[in-house]
Structure formats: structure tokens, C-alpha cells
Amino acid sequence: MEDFSLPLGSFSLGFDSSTQSLKATVLDASLNIVAQEIVNFDSELLHYKTKDGVYRDPSVNGRIVSPTIMWVEALDLILERLQKSGLDFGKIVAVSGSGQQHGSVYWKTGSSRVLFSLDPKKQLADQLGDAFSVKESPIWMDSSTTEQCRAIEKAVGGAMELSSLTGSRAYERFTGPQIRRIFETQPEAYKSTERISLVSSFMASLLIGSYAAIDHTDGAGMNLMDIKERTWSKKILEVTAPSLEEKLGKLAPAYDVAGKIAPYFVERYHFDKNCLVIQWSGDNPNSLAGLTLNSPGDLAISLGTSDTVFAITNEHQACLEGHVFPNPVDTKGYMVMLCYKNGSLIREEIRNNCGDKSWDVFNEYLQRTPPLNGGKLGFYYKDHEIIPPLPVGFHRYVLENFKGDTLDGVKETEVTEFDAASEVRALVEGQFLSMRAHAERFGLPSPPKRIIATGGASANHSILKEVASVFGCNVYKIQSSDSASMGAALRAAHGWLCSKKGSFVPISSMYSGKLEKTSLNCQLAVAAGAHDLVSKYGLLMKKRVEIENRLVQKLGRL
Ligand code: ADP
Ligand code: XUL
């Protein structure tokens, strides 16, 4: 029988270049974690003065960016830390990574030469400071491109047409509308750009010392790629910005080799010169790999800076809400996903305002308040939301006479505040009710067979208990809450095996029959909530959707 694992004693390394931090996970050949590191942007790279890893531009509505060079500096720093921890880089046979999706990097003409000849005696950031034509990368939180979204949709024949071509209608954070905005507002910078990378392909480019391709899965988050053909859609490129194809370079499958590790890393950190860099991909797709999501009835909920809900599917259907991406570890299937912008950051804000800045107090409030919150419902947006498309603002309602058995005679009254404990419950219940409602509408597994939770807030048992109650199913977790870097390390090993074999091998062959002995094993975290509660939450959800629709009519943009 063929051996589908890395050689004994070797390692694979996965990064997660996310909104607030850069993380790394090292797996051994048995797929167990041997090292993990993190660099937090706000608290450890103080000189960039980011808040939550980003700059919110007060002068342009919805503009949210991050300094590109900060991500570069973080890479050296995390490698230094891994080195200090005693990691033998020579054992790493493959590296891959996750990038926050949609964010874009603009390489200035001539930068490929700098990238190709990096001096191992100097830091990367000291050499690449002048490599970018746009120094602040637009990221997934940006919502400044509504005009560009509508123009692109119109030019290709409508939102549904764009969704059927690319997997999503136009979204403000998607890279195509972002590129069009750069072209319109900074034409000189656009002209002097020789390559546009995603965060994922950008970080891979640093590691191979030349421009890496964009992988098919993260490429589907751009509104530029024909999702069925997995090629750039010429029609959409034309209506987005001039000479775009040459600036984007090639597309490649996620399991492809991007290149060998650059001499910079061999000399500075003593990587083996044959170490392969496998295509990086988006953080959500790599989480799908790290959570070994391969059953159509499973639902993943990621509670990171953004909250996302995703599952696998065999078909691609056009939709006006949510996204379809090629499955990064299956050559034929797809992943479907919903993304919320107000995830961990609004939970932190409510924790700070109502819960004494402490998760313990926040959790105690959740435990102290009854399920359904006595009919108190809230909508909390500290940043412009994606689902539903509503602007910054808080909206609170009390449902009179709501007992959870009928909506007859139930009327809502808008109020300006709740007591602290009810505010916490209204936020958390509201987030999961919205996920359940939109997941059902989008055709995600309902009820799911099980939920696998991940992301920073999945460390919080009280929050996971609410997930189990609202959805009415068991909630599982893997060993690490950073499934994006775990998935990247797994995909690195997978890409290495595909390269050795000379063709695609199913990723499950790496762990089938021995999953429970690996760090990828999913374990029960919380058992399903009581059955009658699930139907009561169903009614509350119905009411919430009614109110949400009214808010969107009044305040939203579609
Ligand atoms: P990203 O990868 O998108 O940068 P993470 O998945 O690392 O984000 O999650 C970071 C978030 O996790 C923080 O913003 C924090 O609010 C949240 N978090 C961490 N620990 C807890 C906890 N115990 N309870 C709730 N949220 C938590
Ligand atoms: C997904 C999205 C976010 C980022 C966060 O569409 O915008 O989840 O990937 O890193």
C-alpha cells in the first residue's frame, strides 16, 4: 500500500496572515502540532500604529487598509521566534499559508528584481520598503467601492450574471472592485504597478523570491475569475481596469508548487534549499482543509475577526447572497460561504462597554440571562455589515408577549438601551440567529449534522453553548483554534505529496483511518441544546428577519 505521508522526521509549516496577526503552525509527519507562534500587529509592531491590524480612514467613508510592509516585517519576526524556540528549519519539506481573503498588494514596476535578489543579512522590510506603488493595502473590511460594484455588475449584465460567472455578485471588499477604485482614484499608481497580488499570493511571493500565481480558490474572491473554467474572465477584466491580465499573472490550483524556498530563507533561517512552497490560499478555504470538512451535512463556523459560516457542495449555483469558491482540497467540488464583518471586534466592544473588559464577566452575563432573552433582540454594527448590508449603528427591540410558541400578537417596540447582561445576550443570540437564518436561505445544511467551530472566539465555551442552542446540534472543535494555519500546514504536506506523485492525491488519504491520532481530530465541545428551544429560536429568527428586512429597506444598500 502506498504511503501517503511525509517522510518520517520531516515537518510542514503553515502560516496564517490574517487581519490582526501572523500565526504559524508546524506539523510533524504524523500530523501532530510540534510548534506554534503568533505575532500580533497592534501590540508587537507598535510603530505601525494599527488598531485591530488596520487603519480606518476617517476622511473616506468605508476605506479600511493595512500597511503592506507590516506583513513583510511580521514574516521575519515570526521566523526569528520559531528559530529561537529551537525549530530545525532543515526538517521542513513544505511551506504554505493562508491570507485574509480579498486584500490586495500593488508591486511597483521593477520590484521583481528586488524580490529576486534579497540580501539575507538584512531584514525583508528594510529591502522592500519601496517595492509598492500603493503602500496601504485595501483589505476585506473595506466598503468604499459601492459605486465600482454597481458599475461592474451593470457592465456584465447584472448581479446574477456576475454571480453565475464568478461565484459571487459584486461585493465592496472583493478585489476586482478594489482594483477598479485604485485605477480610478490613483491612476498613476495603477499605471506604475507591474503585479497585483492577493495577501495569499503576496506572502508566497516573498517566500519564493518571485511573483507567485494566485490560486483558484482565493482567486474566486476577486469577482474576476470564471469559476467554471478557472481562468480570468476576459469580459470582466475589460470592464474592471485596463491591462489587468498582465498585472494579475497566472492562476494555479491550490495544491500546485509555487516554487522552491528563496535563498534568503535558506541562508538566514537554514531552510533546506529543496523545501517546496505550495500555493497559499484564503484563510477560510484553508480552514475548511484544517477542519477536514468533507461531509455535506457538516457546517463550519469560524469566529475570528470576521465570522464566517461555510460548508462543501458539489455544484455551483448563482446566488445574490454568499459566495461560492472552488474547494481548495478537491479538484471538482466547491465551498459555499457567508461572511459577517461584525464578528469578534463587536463582541470585544460590547464586552468592554458592558462586561468590564473581561470575557469572564461577559460569559457570566450569558449564563445569567435566559435563552430567548425575554424577547430582547439587537442588531450591532460597529463596521458596515456585509450580511445584511447595513451601516454602522445599533438597533434594539423588545418583543412584547413573546413566549416562543407563536408570533401571533407579538409586537416589537424599539428601545434605546438594554441592561448590561441582556445586551451581551442580545448580541450573541443575534449573531447566531442571523447565521442560522441566512444559512437556511442560502441552502447550507439545515439543521446541520454537526457544527465545527474555529477562530479566536471558539476558545469561549459559553459562546459555543449559544451556537449549540440556536442551531440545535453538537458543536465540535479541533486542537487549535487557528484552523487556517493548521490547514495551511496540512495543505503544504498535501502539495508536497501531489508533487512527489506527479498528480493530485485525495487529501483524505493522508489521514483516513488515523484521524483521531492527529491534531486534526474533531472533538465534541458542546452537546446540542434542548429540542424545544431550537423551534423557539426558529420563531425568534423569523421575527428577526422581518425586522432586518425593514432595516435594510430603510437604511441598507443593495
Ligand atoms: P483573525 O485570524 O481573523 O485575525 P482570530 O481567529 O485570531 O482572528 O481571532 C481573534 C479574536 O478572537 C479576537 O479579536 C478576540 O476577540 C477573540 N477571542 C479570543 N479569545 C476569546 C475569548 N475567550 N472569548 C471570546 N473571544 C475571544
Ligand atoms: C471572507 C472575508 C473574511 C476574511 C478575513 O470573505 O472577507 O473572512 O477572509 O480574514
Q: What is the CATH number of the domain that holds 390?
A: 3.30.420.40
Q: What is the largest CA-CA distance in the chain?
A: 73
Return the best residue to mutate from 71, 100, 305 for the ligand 2 pocket (most ligand atoms within 8 A of CB). Answer: 100
Indicate the helix (H) or strand (E) that contains 283: helix 283-290
Q: Which amino acid is at 349?
A: E
SS3 of 463, please? helix
Domain contains 535: yes
How many whole angstroms from 304 Cα to the centroid of ligand 1? 5
How many Cβ atoms are within 10 Å of 274's Cβ, its own excluded?
A: 10
Q: Of 247, 264, 285, which residue sits at a domain end?
A: 285
SS3 of 391, please? coil
Domain contains 261: yes
Q: Are residues 81 and 170 in the same domain?
A: yes
Q: Of 261, 285, 309, which residue sits at a domain end?
A: 285
Q: Are residues 163 and 256 in the same domain?
A: yes
The x, y and z cell numbers of residue 364, run together, are: 457570566
Query: Counting atoms of ligand 1 from 1, which one is nearest the CA of 347?
Result: 16
Partnered with residue 251 across adjacent β-strands are 214
Query: Counting atoms of ligand 1 from 1, which one is nearest the CA of 455?
Result: 6
Q: Are residues 352 and 207 in the same domain?
A: no
Q: How far is CA 183 from CA 193, 458, 509, in A?
A: 10, 39, 45
Q: Of 266, 285, 304, which residue sits at a domain end?
A: 285
Instruction: With CA atoms as reference, report the closest residue to 433 among 359, 377, 394, 483.
Output: 377
Domain contains 155: yes
The x, y and z cell numbers of residue 305, run together, are: 475577526
- Which residue puts its alpha carbon closest to atom 8 of ligand 2? 306
Instruction: With CA atoms as reference, report the closest residue to 51 among 40, 37, 35, 62.
Output: 40
Q: How many domains are there within the chain?
A: 2
Domain contains 223: yes
What's the residue count for the chain?
558
How many whole angstroms from 464 Cα to the centroid of ligand 1? 13
Distance CA 283, CA 481 (A): 13
The one-character DSSP state at 457 is G
Per-residue pLDDT 10s for the chain (558 aa) are: 467 899 999 999 999 999 999 999 999 999 999 999 999 999 999 999 999 999 999 999 899 999 999 999 999 999 999 999 999 999 999 999 999 999 999 999 999 999 999 999 999 999 999 999 999 999 999 999 999 999 999 999 999 999 999 999 999 999 999 999 999 999 999 999 999 999 999 999 999 999 999 999 999 999 999 999 999 999 999 999 999 999 999 999 999 999 999 999 999 999 999 999 999 999 999 999 999 998 999 999 999 999 999 999 998 888 899 999 999 999 999 999 999 999 999 999 999 999 999 999 999 999 999 999 999 999 999 999 999 999 999 999 999 999 999 999 999 999 999 999 999 999 999 999 999 999 999 999 889 999 999 999 999 999 999 999 999 999 999 999 999 999 999 999 999 999 999 999 999 999 999 999 999 999 999 999 888 999 999 999 999 999 999 999 999 865
> Could you identify the residue written with the cell 424599539?
414
Q: Are residues 280 and 417 in the same domain?
A: no
Q: How far is CA 29 from CA 7, 8, 492, in A?
A: 6, 6, 12
Q: Are residues 252 and 361 in the same domain?
A: no
Domain contains 262: yes
Partnered with residue 55 across adjacent β-strands are 65
Domain contains 49: yes
- Which residue puts its alpha carbon closest to atom 25 of ligand 1? 457
Our CA angle for 161, 248, 163, nearest 5°, is 15
- Put simply, whether the predicted model's pTM sits higher than 0.95 gets the answer yes
Domain contains 395: yes
Domain contains 519: no
Q: Structural domain of residue 394, as residue ranges? A: 344-449+529-555
